């Protein structure tokens, strides 16, 4: 009996060009595509003949529970079909990709994963914020703001004690609590950036410090989906802008002299 196949594919952070070639090939071979809310609909065009099922959470839409998604994967795969589970970013970074693979494998379904470009690195990068930089940060944490118990991860308090860059996903509803943990460590002046809808046409950024960011986020109406970046590396964005500005200024002066 043919048990079908599940390929869990990372769609990248939002910009359709940021999916991998291997991800596109998997979509072209799919019989069924199950996709999430943070996945661009444009990517579905790579799978014109496949059955497409939206299983994400969107206002006004029926919302699938994880168990239902697992059942759907197994049901379609055991018909001998190739199921592609298309997920935002990388499927193994807060993406439940591993859980879905385990579930399908337990039913004899062949499983595979195509890594994706995680929003945790690419969304800061889209704003010229590197997660490591010589002299600014030697390492980085990627932490969820909302654990299974809907609480802030205890790792945030540990990360606040380090010199590392701290990247927090799903943390907007706990922004005050997060900033408080950094204030407790005397980090009021540490730079912070919040990037909403990174790498898409709706991208929006707000910058500040641990002391000011909560107020600024409210003022600029920053909300989900967003990434919070805390650390000296946030300055890099301004450094680049300043260097470009100085260069242009010099060019104008040279031009005036000629
Ligand atoms: C369930 S997690 C999935 C993360 C995903 N697997 C990844 O590697 O990017 C969803 C969270 O990722 C962050 N996120 C994903 N895409 C984003 C984007 N384009 N801009 C800002 N934040 C994003 C937000 O914090 C969002 O709430």
Helix (H) or strand (E) holding 95: none
Report the alpha-carbon distance of residue 218 to residue 182 in Å, rounded. 19
Mean pLDDT check: name the lowest of 59-63, 106-110, 185-189, 219-223: 59-63
Report the alpha-carbon distance of residue 20 to residue 3 in Å, rounded. 26
Domain boundaries along the sequence of the chain: 5-117, 120-239
- Ligand 1 centroid–CA 29 distance in Å is 26
Q: How confident is the model at residue 148 (pLDDT cuts 50, 70, 90)?
A: confident
Count Cβ atoms below 10 Å from residue 9 Cβ, excluding itself: 29
User: Half-sphere exposure of residue 86, counting CA atoms within 13 Å on the CB side?
Assistant: 39
CATH assignment, 120-239:
3.30.950.10
Atom in ligand 1 nearest the alpha carbon of residue 97: 6
Choice from 227, 228, 229, 230 to test ligand 1 binding pocket (greatest atom count within 8 A of CB): 227
Query: Across all residues in the chain, what is the average pLDDT?
Result: 94
Helix (H) or strand (E) holding 208: strand 204-209
* Fold assignment, 5-117: Cobalt-precorrin-4 Transmethylase; domain 1 (3.40.1010)
- The pLDDT tens digits of the residues spanning 103-119 come to 999 999 999 999 999 99
Phi/psi for 120 (5° steps) reads: -60, -30
- Ligand 1 centroid–CA 219 distance in Å is 22
88, pLDDT greater than 70: yes
Cβ-proximal residues to 237 (8 Å cutoff; 6+ apart), any chain = 127, 128, 129, 193, 207
147/211: higher pLDDT? 211
């Amino acid at each position: 009996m043919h048990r079908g196949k599940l390929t869990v594919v990372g769609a990248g952070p939002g910009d359709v060009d940021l999916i991998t070639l291997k991800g596109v090939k998997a979509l072209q071979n799919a019989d069924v595509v199950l996709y999430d809310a943070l996945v661009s609909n444009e990517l579905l065009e790579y799978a014109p003949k496949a059955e497409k099922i939206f299983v994400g959470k969107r206002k006004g839409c029926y919302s699938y529970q994880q168990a239902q998604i697992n059942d759907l994967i197994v049901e379609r795969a055991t018909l001998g079909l190739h199921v592609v589970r298309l997920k935002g970013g990388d499927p193994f970074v807060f993406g439940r990709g591993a859980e879905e693979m385990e579930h399908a494998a337990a039913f004899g379904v062949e499983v595979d994963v195509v890594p994706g470009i995680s929003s945790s690195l690419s969304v800061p990068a889209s704003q010229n914020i590197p997660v490591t930089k010589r002299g600014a940060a030697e390492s980085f944490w990627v932490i969820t703001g909302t654990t299974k118990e809907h609480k802030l991860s205890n790792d945030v308090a540990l990360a606040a004690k380090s010199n590392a860059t701290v990247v927090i996903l799903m943390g907007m509803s706990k922004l005050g609590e997060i900033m408080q943990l950094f204030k407790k460590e005397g980090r009021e002046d540490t730079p912070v950036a919040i990037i909403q809808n990174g790498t898409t046409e709706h991208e929006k950024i707000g910058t500040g410090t641990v002391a000011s960011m909560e107020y600024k986020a409210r003022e600029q109406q920053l909300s989900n989906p967003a990434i919070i970046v805390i650390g000296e590396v946030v300055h890099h964005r301004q450094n680049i802008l300043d260097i470009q500005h100085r260069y242009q200024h010099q060019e104008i002066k040279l031009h005036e002299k000629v």
